[in-house]
Amino acid sequence: MAQNHNYTEDSIKSLEPREHIRLRPGMYIGKLGDGSAPDDGIYVLVKEVVDNSIDEHMMGFGKSIDIVVTEDHVEIRDFGRGIPLGKVVDCVSKINTGAKYDSNAFQKSVGLNGVGTKAVNALSKYFKVTSTRDGQEKVAEFEQGKLIKDHKVQSSKGKNGTSVHFQPDGTIFKNFRFIPEYLENQIWNYAFLNSGLTINYNGKKYFSEKGLYDLLSRKIEVESMRYPIIHLKGNDVEIALTHTNQYGEEYYSFVNGQYTTQGGTHLSAFREGIVRTVREHFNKNFDAADIRASIAGAISVRVQEPVFESQTKTKLGSNNIGPEGPTVRSFVVDFLKKELDDFLHKNPETAQAMLKRIQQSERERKDIAGIKKLANDRAKKANLHNKKLRDCKTHLNDKKKDDELKFNSTLFITEGDSASGSITKSRNVDTQAVFSLRGKPLNCYSLTKKVVYENEEFNLLQHALNIEDGLDGLRYNRVVIATDADVDGMHIRLLMLTFFLQFFPDLVRGGHLYILETPLFRVRNKKKTIYCYSEEEKQKAIDQLGNKPEITRFKGLGEISPDEFGNFIGDNIRLDPIILNKDTHIKNLLSYYMGKNTPNRQQFIIDNLKVEKDIVEEAIAV
């Protein structure tokens, strides 16, 4: 019998916009996170403020933006027109307030909903905005979105523009940290998409002359390119592309300067346009997968009043380029059919290099076709939802998909039954799955993708992730390697990193791969328990607890009880993202660490060797 929960008029509540933002931040900035992923909330806060400065630049006002990010503070200063002084407080605190509803003031801008900066304000411990305009200055200060000091307008000798200083609220963004590589990628993207704009970030200048050409040059190793980057520009569209020696597809897509990490209609049209153009140019009906295999590309479009699928603007919905313009799909496809085809006719050497790469992909696909069918049949018979994979509820019923749960879903790759058992018992069954490795994986360095289908462990893992044909069907947003912090665990970690970097580098570049940090020590007394992830944290815990606390050194994940594991993989999970920066050369990296022994690697091991027993003895001595 249903219980009476006293559903009355008093149960109905109306929240002010600031209260709603703080209660449901995910609606405004996506997931919160702790900064370990590039789409975590703290980076969205930075983006929302910078977007306004970019829009000023796009309208022809301001050639530089200054950004300073410290451990927990962000300062952003542009040199645009400055917010009209009488509306400074409203523009940063009253939702649905802004100038971007006026298409004459802002055309083809990113922010259209009058929400972004207000969300930053509401989710900040401290927020300060300064507008300088024609010799006058207006300052307003807030705490958690509440106005605490409304300064009077004063005279100023500063240049026109807007300055925003904020500190994310630690009660909402728990244990947050800014990872410099993620911020640097954000800033480079702004520079690539806005020629003539200089961004000064923490004392370093970011500037691009060739736009998306520079972007691909930074992202792709020159030695891996099969031909020079093709760079094409038109009204409201720019593309760059090349084929590489690596597996997988790699794309970067943008709308009005916004990095659409989840793609959308413009990226779909880009991929379709490449296939159609190549087929018609070479007059051969190539398989689409062979054409796109190993491709690296970037596309940027400018759209009036773009329709995004969420406030965070990570995916472009279906809409036209302008009020009376063509659809995004036809606009991009037609552009490629003309411009890319013309380029290939004018550059026959590039066309031949492209053709050879496509034919190579075709041969490789046919070469593994037979074993691929057998491997797929074997994977179906094994039934992924067995003890090899303890799936989460998000995926057990694929007919009822929950996009938010999928966005937060995680797969832990563990070693051994004890570790996988502990994680399985303590995980969040809605969003966290566990894949158990059997012994040490194969060192797949320099092997072809054929081994993925021949090796049962690799084959089942790629099916669990659903990445056989690319990342479009990726079932988990985060893939976490969870191994012991000992020599064997580190070896398994390296073997798994080799597998992903060798065959699925786009998974790593997409920011989906992580290492699980587990505590090395437990320091406790009768009143409190502290888990420590380093020698430094252990010493701080000893100093904090005093009176000779009990110290336990964890050797492996299997030694940690399920109850304790719940403290590490829940809200307080610590993850180290695997980040590939511009200096990371995958082929050289794998060759050095996973290839045949060389004197250089032997010397590296000797110089960096840490003997496990020495750590244990030190812990016992304490």
Q: Provide φ and ψ at 343, rounded to 5°.
A: -60, -45
Average pLDDT, the chain: 85
User: What pLDDT sits at residue 606?
Assistant: 72
How far apart are the C-alpha atoms of 199 and 209, rounded to whole Å?
13
Write the pLDDT tens digit of every residue in 79-120.
999 999 999 999 999 886 655 434 443 345 554 445 789 999
Average pLDDT in the 455-461 region?
Answer: 90
Do the beta carbons of residue 578 and residue 515 sit within 8 Å? yes
For the chain, what are the domain ranges?
17-206, 212-367, 369-518+557-621, 521-553
Order of strands across the sheet with 513-516? 389-390, 432-437, 410-415, 478-482, 513-516, 575-577
User: What pLDDT sits at residue 77?
Assistant: 98
The CATH class for the domain spanning 17-206 reads alpha beta
561 or 544, higher pLDDT: 544
Q: Provide φ and ψ at 24, rounded to 5°.
A: -125, 60
pLDDT tops 90 at residue 620: no
How far apart are the C-alpha atoms of 597 and 601, rounded to whole Å?
7
Write the pLDDT tens digit of every residue in 494-523.
899 999 999 998 899 888 999 998 888 889
Name the H helices within 347-455.
348-367, 369-382, 393-396, 403-407, 417-426, 450-454
Enumerate helices (H) and strands (E) in the chain, giving the number of each. 24, 23
Q: Provide φ and ψ at 186, rounded to 5°.
A: -55, -50
pLDDT tops 80 at residue 592: no
Greatest mean pLDDT among 7-21, 350-364, 392-406 lies in 350-364
Exposed, middle or buried, 361 (CB in 10 Å: 0-12/13-18/19+)? buried
User: What pLDDT sits at residue 1?
Assistant: 46
Give the SS3 label for residue 341.
helix
Residue 576 one-letter amino acid: D
472 or 299, higher pLDDT: 299
State the DSSP string of 66-124: EEEE-SS-EEEEE-SS---GGGHHHHHHSTT-SSTTSTTTSSS-S--SS-HHHHHHHTE
User: What pLDDT sits at residue 311?
Assistant: 53
Q: Which residues are within 8 A (CB) of 174 and not within 5 positions of it... i.e. 6 or more apart?
A: 32, 34, 571, 572
- Kindly report whether the global pTM for this prediction surpasses the value 0.85: no
Do the beta carbons of residue 241 and residue 298 sit within 8 Å? yes
Q: How confident is the model at residue 197 (pLDDT cuts 50, 70, 90)?
A: very high
User: What pLDDT sits at residue 346?
Assistant: 97
> Would you identify the CATH topology of the domain 212-367?
Ribosomal Protein S5; domain 2 (3.30.230)
Average pLDDT in the 340-355 region?
Answer: 98
Q: How confident is the model at residue 129 (pLDDT cuts 50, 70, 90)?
A: very high
Enclosing H/E stretch for 45: helix 41-58
How far apart are the C-alpha atoms of 618 and 620, rounded to whole Å?
5
Q: Which residues are within 8 A (CB) of 26 and not within 5 positions of it... i.e. 6 or more apart?
A: 32, 404
Write the pLDDT tens digit of every residue in 199-247.
999 999 999 999 999 999 998 888 889 999 999 999 989 999 999 998 8
User: What pLDDT sits at residue 106?
Assistant: 39
- CATH among 3.40.50.670, 3.30.1370.60, 1.20.1740.10, 3.40.640.10 for 369-518+557-621: 3.40.50.670
245-259, 332-346, 467-481, 559-573: least confident range: 559-573
Q: How confident is the model at residue 404 (pLDDT cuts 50, 70, 90)?
A: low
441 or 313, higher pLDDT: 441
- Phi/psi zone of residue 392: left (φ > 0), alpha (ψ -120 to 50 degrees), beta? beta
